[in-house]
Structure 1
Amino acid sequence: MTATKSRLRQHLYDYLTLKRRIIFIFLVSTLIPFITIILISYFTIYSILTNKIQTGIQNNLRQVELSLESSINNLNHVSQQLAFGGIVGNRLDELLSAKKPFDRSKLLSDLKEELGLITFTNPSIGLTLYYFKDDHSYDLANFGVKDPFSPQALPLLAEYSKISYYGPHVSNNRFDNGFVLSAMRKVDLPHQEEVYIYIETGFKLTQNILHNDQIGGTTSHVFLDNHGRVAYSDAADFQVDTLFPHFDKKQMSGTQNGYYWFREVSNQGWSIISLTAKSDYNKEMNRWFVQIGLFSLLFLGMSLFLAWLLWKMVYRPLNGFSKEIKRMAQNKVQTTAIETNIPEFDFLVAQFKQMKTQIWELFAEVELKEKRRADLEVEKLLYQINPHFLMNTLDTVHWLAVMNGQDEIDRLVLSLNKLLHYNLGKLGQTSTIQEEIEAVQQYLLLQQIRYDFMFDVHIHVDAEVLRVPVPRFILQPLVENSLYHGLDDEGYIEVDVRLTDKIDIYIRDNGAGMSAEKIHSLLHSPESAGGKVGMGIGMNYVNRMIENYYSGQAMLSVTSVKGEGTTIRLSLPFGGGNQHD
């Protein structure tokens, strides 16, 4: 996961060149105000246009609803005159009760005259007749009637106790195929129960109902009865005698089947719905979107062009800097001054020239120091003559002791010679755990002879780690620590090297122990043990050496208890480290 994130960051870094960053920042700084203005304009224009369209539709729909309500009220008023209790209704009762033909003829003539007078004085009234529900017959029609005549088949709009309203539907007038509204009211004759007055009013839905159309599209209409059933529809998605989808008496507008719809409810409970296709409804809004889109493209093109000009302005000085850096990398000195005619870049050019001069001076200084270092190396080789002379001399002493039978002196000189030969090797050179253990053994032997006291030494090393390379001098300073901090004749030193998932080296003693402050000083202070430890190389050296050699993968820790002893743990990675020759 870490490697994947690193690759993504590198890819993003390589992609975001200066040119892309300039264009991005320029676009962001110019487009954010522009987009903000567009959003504010959008919500403002959307609110204005929506209110305008909705208000226009609802106003027109309200006018239609009021006109229809007025026509229905007129139907209701005329039907009351023709019902029993009115002049015509009473004449009908007399007609139906008359026995003599003359009386019936006279009453029929008078009744037709009254009906003609009523229809003449109400020009909005169309077909009028009396319907006898028992035998499904009719009489006294003022126009010809289409056969078959069946009011029960008409779409019911609203219904009350004595009157039912139908429509819009095709007129039953034989000479009229227009759409009308109609009402059928019970006459309530004393001797006839199932007599009804049927009246139509002319209402042509084919005319442009919303003549002040606010959106310039085609509008459809749906009439609903009191229960949300479709009584009339000129939209194919809403069929007559079906319930309006998701009908809610309180909902006055919404969307359905790709339409925006608005509803007006009459005082009688029926309602009229205006349907407008979403494409027509959003026509003016879409026109505004197209205009804004074209303007946005123009603005974006101008922004990109200005960003390109800005890049060109920056590119020329940067190209000059790049050439100067390449010449300097190729050890070429540029004598011609770069002129950008931009004060900021000219200042950078001057600073670059000054930096280049300082770099050449540093190059000269480094060359001088390298020459001096080479001289010091030669001098160092000369100083190595003395250690070789010392070891050769000790070798001579060893053979003299052998020849004179001085076994203890022989053993002392031989151990000292081996230890000096190992310790006078090149610092930083790698060794092996086996060589480190052998050097520790020689050192401990010398210390026992030198101070004339005996202590037990227990050394255990797993065979698998004997040839493992390690830095030189990492065990002897740790053993020296155990020897120089409270060990006596009753003491012991245990060196235990084990292979687990790492190489764990434990050096234990039963000496006087140390305080936490002393442990910290030994590990971190380079001056802490220089005057006491035999070779002058302390634990601080070990700590720094393993940190550098194993890149932080090794660990040195010390635990000690006063009066009981000290345990040093050195944990090294198996097969790890940076080997140095």
Structure 2
Amino acid sequence: MKRKKLFYGDTIHKRLVSAFLLVIISCLLLSGIVSYVALISVEKNKTEVEMISNLEQVTQNMDRLFLSMCQISEQMMQQGNLGILLNSYLTTQNSYELYHIKKQICTDMVTVAFPSSDINLLSYYNYNTQRNIFESFTFKEGYDFNQVPELIRIGDISYNGFHPSFRKYQNDMVISLKRESKFSENISGLIYIEAKLDLLGYIQTRQNDKNSKKMECIILQADKKGNICYSSDKDIFPVKKDFTLHSIFPDGKEKGVYGQYFAVAKTSKMGYTNLLLIRMSDYKRELYQWFDRSLIVFIVSIVLLYCMVFIIHRIIYGPLKIFGKEIDKLGEGSFELTDYDSGVLEFNQLFEQFNKMKRQIKKLITDVEIAEKEKNQLEVEKLIYQINPHFLMNTLNSVHWLAKSHNQPEISKFITNLNSILAYNLGKLDKDTTFRSEINMLQNYIDLQKMRYDFDASIDVEEGPYLDQPTVRLLLQPLVENAIRYGLGDQGIIEIRIFYHDVRNYVVLMIEDHGKGLSKDKLMQLQEPFRYNQDSKENSGIGLRYVRSMLETYYGDKAIMNINSEKGRGTKITLLLPLNKEGS
């Protein structure tokens, strides 16, 4: 074969690359301009939507916790379950009862707060003693209920904004509820409930890629009158009288620029307002980052695109062109094999496969010519195959009528049985073999063999529907033939029994003789159905091998063939053939 090295024309390459780059660069520039204009608006709206969404989550969770604390306070009032126990505790003088009531109050305070995992602390505060009567957890030293920022007051209930927890060993930010209550005729006090609200869990902060610092977010809260009563950063936004919601949004809107910050507000249905503020530099930071990164990506994309076009031209266009020429040559009838080195493994394999296809096509053409020559010979052999059995059966029929005309009934019966067996074995009779047809052919075969050998055959067949079910052709004849040839013995008796075992759902076929039996080596040899020595003149056991092979083909591994034999005591062959409940 002639080896060729592929070379590529520079002019075609330059034109292809120039046209490709011109189209792609134009598309990239147009897409970049359109996407930049769109992304400015999208990114701005994205930041605002995130801020508003986060603020709404904080406000909704505050409303939910205020409602939950209000419901708990109802149970702690004088008419509630806990309030009734508290009155009993304050009025009972019996020490034993006091102990049990105190224990029950402590248990019920935990039970009341259990449904809401955010409830952090519950207490009854006595104005007279300036101490807590009951508390679910220990309070910090120096706590003061008057220092919490009040957002709304409805009747005797005060809803308070963010402040540090009064619970000992905790520094979480909480919101709380205070409710005035009269515990007994002489004692007035306060119900205090606080709930945790994880601000960082709702205010999503994003990373700055340059300095890896978090975007600064500041939370403010305004009460129902618009006064700012809480600030998460009092150094930048201190809480003072003249600092109101109107100072941030003088036009009454809920978003806008306040100094160096962009702010959004969300007013609760209860009347208070939450505000979220971020620096303007952070607000626009991602737009600047997007522009810088987009420019870098655009430049890198152009360089990579040029490299990609160049590589594609070198490794794909050239080999495909050569491959097209080879196809044209094949179409013209040329089967010349040529080895191309394209420098790419896949293309080299493709050329090799193409050469292989040429060889196969050439071989197929030769095979077709040979097949045409052999077709006539095959037809002749087929006719001979059909004519020879037909001729043999016609000849046997002629012998049958000749014996009958010369008053030879034994010969006539012999020929009749032989003809019937031959037609059955060649498939000239029933196409589907059943147990009944096998038994009938077996009877004919035994009658035929009795004319040659002196023996008795006992056939015990249990009548039943199973006899009409399909099975293997020539199943019993080879087994009985072996029994007649090797197992007659001195008694000259062969016992055949066929019946249906309903419990195990098997057709059982047993063939037993009383002859000389088999040695252990011979028995092991018969267990291997495909061990057949073509050089052997006798090949004893071929019938058993045939039966075993046909059973494996027809029944798979569901049929069982068992051979029991002992030297000098005969051989017994048992077949277990499965049937389903419908008999198939």
Shorter-chain TM band: 0.3 to 0.5
TM, length-normalised to structure 2? 0.43
- Work out which structure has the larger RCO, using CA pairs closer than 8 Å and 6 or more positions apart in sequence: 2
- TM-score of the aligned structures, taking structure 1 as reference length: 0.43
